[in-house]
Amino acid sequence: MSSDADAAGDAAAGPNRETKAERIRELLATEGDAVAENTRGFNAGRYESTGRLDDYEALKERAREIKEDAIERLPDLIDEVRETVEANGGTVYLADDAADANRYIREVAAEREAGRAIKSKSMTSEEIEVNAALEGDGVEVVETDLGEWVLQLADEEPSHIVAPAIHKSREGISELFAERFDLDDPPETAEALTMFARERLGDLIEDADLGMTGANFIAADSGTMLLVTSEGNARKTVTATDTHVAVAGVEKLVPTVEEFAPFVELIGRSGTGQDVTSYISTLTPPVASPVPDFEADDEPLADGSGDDREFHLVLIDNGRLAMRDDETLKETLYCIRCSACSNACGNFQSVGGHAFGGETYSGGIATGWEAGIEGLDTAAEFNDLCTGCSRCVPACPVGIDIPWINTAVRDRINRGEADPSQLDWAFEELVPDEEPGGLDLSTRLVGNYATLAEWGHRTAPVANRLANFGPARALAERVVGIDSRRELPEFARVSLVEWFDDRGGSAVDPDEADREAVVYPDTATNYVDVDRGKATVRALEALGVHVRVPDLPGSGRPPLSQGMVATAESAAEDVYAGLAPHLDAGRDVVVIEPSDLATFRREYERFLPADSHERLADASYDAMEYVFGLLEAGGDPAALRAPAEGTGPVASGARLAYHPHCQARTVEVGEYATATFERLGYDVRVSDTECCGMAGSFGYKSDYYELSMDVGEPLREQFGDTERTVVAPGTSCTEQLDALLESTPMHPIEVIAPRE
């Protein structure tokens, strides 16, 4: 790339980064507190509610099976539901896209001479923008869901799939009502605001001519719909008018009513933490109940007639059938729109869907929806707000691998934006990755962190001085967006592999060892935080393990985080090739960095043959998981460091403040450190925060620095004044806690390893 092109690229990148950063700062200030309080409350409720289910995991597996089967059979289910609904007296229309759906709905409204349409909450109707289409024909459209109605009055877009007005405070809603209805004494309490809305909406519902709903699920064999609401507004919408239009994506079809069962158990618990959502309605339209006569409320409804009712089921394709044939996006169609992924996401908790979302959908799953429905350009606007922390994976009631969808779409975005005619000659020579020429410089730099760290180690301390040199930091911020407020890691002069070789290998003779283990020299441990690698070796040797530290490549986690899938796959193959001889010899693989262990156990499934992945995953252990296992197998706890010896600068060394890594939680190894500490006599307080907000390179980026720090703020609140020794296993966690608490945490293995 020429210097002129470089300058042009810098000029384009700079304002874009600053625009994104400014938008995030604005949302943090105006909506962040309300979003955080509500989403964290929903997330806590999910844990409590699902914890009361004995068969939670089985329900999730069953729900997944139903969705997989339904999407596989989707064309047949569409044909079947058409037959059943029409046999019931209704009409089914399969709309190709939003314009097609709106044309049909407008025709129905015109035929019924509708002056007002009332709607219950429906994300699919938001997707096709039906309100604007009807209003263009002079039809008044009224949202009957309280949150949607508030946003309609405010002329704002939803910021959450389930709770659209989650970003609005009670005070803000009171001010809105005062302004829109010219109230001198507006309602202020939640109850008063709700009653005011109920009265206003009640009057509007009485005179409606057409009712619109969505559908959470539709049984193809009977045409029966399942509607889940918190306020019962869907029931009013269906029964208050003589024309019911249901709008639903084709993915909402399931074979039979019996398949509703697991979703009824899961959807409320997953989304808002409720054991059962307030109103669960099943109806097989056209419903037979008569339309009430609001001017003769003393007349029994049974005396009326429902013969004039019309029902129209508008099934929306709008890209879904193409998504079904796309191996990456197909899994998005399993989504049941519960919002659990949003509630579990640290970034979403801070800024909500107005930043972390596209034209319609928000949160982690939004990338799949927006890429399939709107296109890559829309997904690219927010896709990198998914950091791959993976906390959404166990939260999803149908087990969608949301981080992988985000990663794969990011790869497509990269390749769409890259100009193959450009040759990044320096990178082609120094970092021969698998990506096309012209890839964004920041993406390529971060994605090749393993090579960067190796060169930094080779040239230390010169590299360390240059890295923190003022002009160099300013240039890095301008060109590749590395925020100058972040301290950069200091590269070690002697790598872990070099240290191990220099000491003559393991201190435990293989003939006398109880076990043999390979300590995986991940990039951060090998070239930056060598001390935690040394501590791991000492701890394992103290428990009678013959240790090996071979020279192995990076796991591929950095390129994976940047959507450089081909490069990550190449790394996976190289790592497996390096570890295969050790697996053949029956050696265990001990991993210090939690994100690398998660990569071995989760992402490598997509890159390696099934038997190779299973073999590596089964033989790989988190360092503290492995120590716990050794103790359980009869290892002597006295060989490790006890609390009485102290653990650092704090006088009371027995008291620890422990923050498990987000991905360690996902692969369920985070608790082993707590169990080991307690077994050795330490007093441990575990953090409530699931993601520190640093997320690898994410926290280094100038456009996301404030967001990263805000996500980590609960850690400062919990541990900021603690006199405990702070402990964290992940490199990112350590850097973030250092910035938040101005105190460098220890890795758990450093706490318990014998001193040198």
pLDDT band at 13 (very low <50, low <70, confident <90, very high): very low
User: What pLDDT does residue 306 have?
Assistant: 52
User: What pLDDT does residue 10 have?
Assistant: 40
Are 215 and 71 members of one domain? yes
pLDDT band at 99 (very low <50, low <70, confident <90, very high): very high
pLDDT band at 2 (very low <50, low <70, confident <90, very high): very low
**Is the confidence at residue 4, as pLDDT, over 50?**
no
Amino acid at 605: E
The domain boundary, picked from 292, 319, 346, lies at 319
Number of domains observed in the structure of the chain: 2
**Is the confidence at residue 422, as pLDDT, over 90?**
no
**Is the confidence at residue 480, as pLDDT, over 50?**
yes
Are 243 and 389 members of one domain? no
Q: 546 pairs with which residues across the strands?
A: 516
Q: 213 pairs with which residues across the strands?
A: 246
Give the domain range for residue 350: 17-22+321-413
pLDDT band at 608 (very low <50, low <70, confident <90, very high): very high
In terms of phi and psi (left: phi > 0; alpha: psi -120 to 50; beta: otherwise), the region of 406 is alpha
Report whether 664 contacts 670 (CB < 8 A). Answer: yes
Whether residue 269 is contained in a domain is answered as yes
Whether residue 212 is contained in a domain is answered as yes
Interatomic CA distance for residues 517 and 142, integer angstroms: 65
Contacts of 462 (CB under 8 A, 6+ apart): none
> Sheet containing 310-316: which strands, arranged edge to edge?
91-95, 310-316, 243-249, 210-213, 116-119, 140-143
Provide the terminal-to-terminal Cα distance of the chain, rounded to the nearest Å: 50
Interatomic CA distance for residues 261 and 271, integer angstroms: 16
Are 278 and 331 members of one domain? no
Are 131 and 266 members of one domain? yes
Q: Regarding predicted confidence, which is higher, 41 or 9?
A: 41
Helix (H) or strand (E) holding 239: helix 233-239
- With tokens 């803000």, the residue in question is 172
Q: Of the ranges 91-100, 417-426, 663-672, which one carries the lowest mean pLDDT score?
A: 417-426
The pair phi, psi for residue 468, each rounded to 5°, is -105, 15
pLDDT band at 371 (very low <50, low <70, confident <90, very high): very high
Closest CA relative to residue 387, chosen from 692, 698, 706, 604: 698
pLDDT in tens, 265-277: 999 999 999 887 7
The pair phi, psi for residue 374, each rounded to 5°, is -100, -35
**698: DSSP letter:** G
Q: What 3-state class would DSSP assign to 316?
A: strand
The pair phi, psi for residue 254, each rounded to 5°, is -130, 160
- With tokens 């569409």, the residue in question is 78
CA dihedral 254, 258, 262, 266 (to 10 degrees): 70
**Is the confidence at residue 739, as pLDDT, over 50?**
yes
Whether residue 280 is contained in a domain is answered as yes
**701: DSSP letter:** B
pLDDT band at 439 (very low <50, low <70, confident <90, very high): confident
Q: What 3-state class would DSSP assign to 565?
A: helix
The domain boundary, picked from 345, 379, 413, lies at 413
**Is the confidence at residue 295, as pLDDT, over 80?**
no
ω before 186 within 30° of 0 (cis)?
A: no
**Is the confidence at residue 7, as pLDDT, over 60?**
no
> Sheet containing 225-229: which strands, arranged edge to edge?
253-254, 217-219, 225-229, 279-283
Interatomic CA distance for residues 591 and 573, integer angstroms: 17
Are 312 and 360 members of one domain? no
Whether residue 433 is contained in a domain is answered as no
> Sheet containing 683-686: which strands, arranged edge to edge?
683-686, 655-658, 725-727
User: What pLDDT does residue 293 have?
Assistant: 64
User: What pLDDT does residue 421 have?
Assistant: 57
Instruction: Give me the mean pLDDT over the 321-344 stretch.
Output: 97
**Is the confidence at residue 501, as pLDDT, over 70?**
yes
Are 68 and 141 members of one domain? yes
Whether residue 430 is contained in a domain is answered as no
* Structure tokens that stand for 740 in this block: 């938040």
Q: Percentage of the chain surpassing pLDDT 70?
A: 92
Report whether 400 contacts 331 (CB < 8 A). Answer: yes
Report whether 352 contacts 160 (CB < 8 A). Answer: yes
Q: What 3-state class would DSSP assign to 682?
A: coil
User: What pLDDT does residue 420 have?
Assistant: 59
* CA distances (Å), origin 429, targets 407, 423, 432, 460, 515: 26, 11, 6, 21, 42
Could you tell me the CATH number of the domain that includes residue 331?
Answer: 1.10.1060
**Is the confidence at residue 511, as pLDDT, over 90?**
yes
Are 333 and 407 members of one domain? yes
Q: Of the ranges 10-19, 222-231, 314-323, 550-559, which one carries the lowest mean pLDDT score?
A: 10-19
Whether residue 350 is contained in a domain is answered as yes
SS (H, E, C) 346-385: HHHHHHCCCCCECCCCECCCHHHHHHHHCCHHHHHCCHHH
pLDDT band at 645 (very low <50, low <70, confident <90, very high): low
The domain boundary, picked from 277, 300, 319, lies at 319
**Is the confidence at residue 652, as pLDDT, over 80?**
no
Are 88 and 157 members of one domain? yes
Are 289 and 203 members of one domain? yes
Whether residue 640 is contained in a domain is answered as no
pTM: 0.92
pLDDT in tens, 197-216: 888 988 899 889 999 999 99
Are 283 and 365 members of one domain? no
ω before 637 within 30° of 0 (cis)?
A: no
Q: Of the ranges 264-273, 384-393, 583-592, 652-661, which one carries the lowest mean pLDDT score?
A: 652-661
Interatomic CA distance for residues 714 and 718, integer angstroms: 6
Whether residue 373 is contained in a domain is answered as yes
pLDDT band at 649 (very low <50, low <70, confident <90, very high): very low
Could you tell me the CATH number of the domain that includes residue 202?
Answer: 3.40.50.10420
- With tokens 């992945």, the residue in question is 613
Are 395 and 290 members of one domain? no
Are 224 and 304 members of one domain? yes
pLDDT in tens, 175-198: 999 999 998 888 889 899 999 988
User: What pLDDT does residue 654 have?
Assistant: 86
The pair phi, psi for residue 700, each rounded to 5°, is -80, -20
* Structure tokens that stand for 292 in this block: 């009430």
User: What pLDDT does residue 6 have?
Assistant: 39
Contacts of 192 (CB under 8 A, 6+ apart): none
Closest CA relative to residue 731, chosen from 718, 708, 747: 747
Interatomic CA distance for residues 712 and 714, integer angstroms: 6
Q: Of the ranges 249-258, 315-324, 569-578, 634-643, which one carries the lowest mean pLDDT score?
A: 634-643
The pair phi, psi for residue 285, each rounded to 5°, is -75, 160
